[in-house]
Chains A and B, each alone.
Chain A
Amino acid sequence: AQSVTQPDARVTVSEGASLQLRCKYSYSGTPYLFWYVQYPRQGLQLLLKYYSGDPVVQGVNGFEAEFSKSNSSFHLRKASVHWSDSAVYFCVLRGDNYAQGLTFGLGTRVSVFP
């Protein structure tokens, strides 16, 4: 079985401050890991993805994530947030068996205030 845990349901941060969203996964094999973002009344958009190589991956709009096999984690970071980063962020896992599809975390709702 595979699972994804996002321990923070909501995060509030000031514009210009840094942001970290936590993600822990459970999977016995080598996972594909993704972060997707969902803006209000829009579909899911891919921020970044990781499978192998450098554990720090760069994504769009200044986001990056760091993979840790020892901690089974894939945390997302941004150095300085903008009000337009207010959205719901999903950590997503895909196992080697494509038939299992994607496993989503419950999401973290980020609110950025001036």
Chain B
Amino acid sequence: EAGVTQSPRYAVLQEGQAVSFWCDPISGHDTLYWYQQPRDQGPQLLVYFRDEAVIDNSQLPSDRFSAVRPKGTNSTLKIQSAKQGDTATYLCASSFTSGNTLYFGEGSRLIVV
């Protein structure tokens, strides 16, 4: 069974540029999460979906970050006008609604210079 797939694995941007991260969850998982993990810190939830609906995006910096999951499968996290403080690894995870175990992808590492 394929795991959670993320791309790109790495991105280096200058401040002000935009980037999109893509996530393909485990087949059949209806819940999808995006986490931000700054260096040497634990992951922090940005947003999560059940099917195509956003359940909680209260931690998403809405002015520059956006996330969609239009068909309830793959998801895209976009950062517009990146800042140095956005430097982090962006982790995607998926699970069944009825389950309590999240399965994580390998992450997309972003460096903003």
Contact = CB atoms under 8 A, between A and B. Distances in A.
Contacts of A46: 101-103
Contact of A49 (B91, B93, B100, B107): B100
Given A43-B4, A43-B91, A43-B107, A102 B101 contact: no
Interface stretch (A11-19, A74-82, A103-111): A103-111
A106 B44 CA distance: 10
A26 interface: no
Nearest to B42: A104
A43 B105 CA distance: 5
B104 A101 contact: no
B45 A43 contact: no
B91 A44 contact: yes
Contact of A42 (B44, B93, B106): B106
Interface string A87-113: 000100010001101101111000000
B101 A105 contact: no
Given A36-B104, A43-B106, A44-B91, 17 more contacts: A34-B101, A41-B106, A43-B4, A44-B43, A45-B104, A46-B101, A46-B103, A49-B100, A90-B42, A90-B43, A94-B100, A101-B33, A101-B45, A102-B33, A104-B42, A104-B43, A106-B41
Interface of A: 32, 34, 36, 41-46, 49, 51, 90, 94, 98-99, 101-102, 104-107
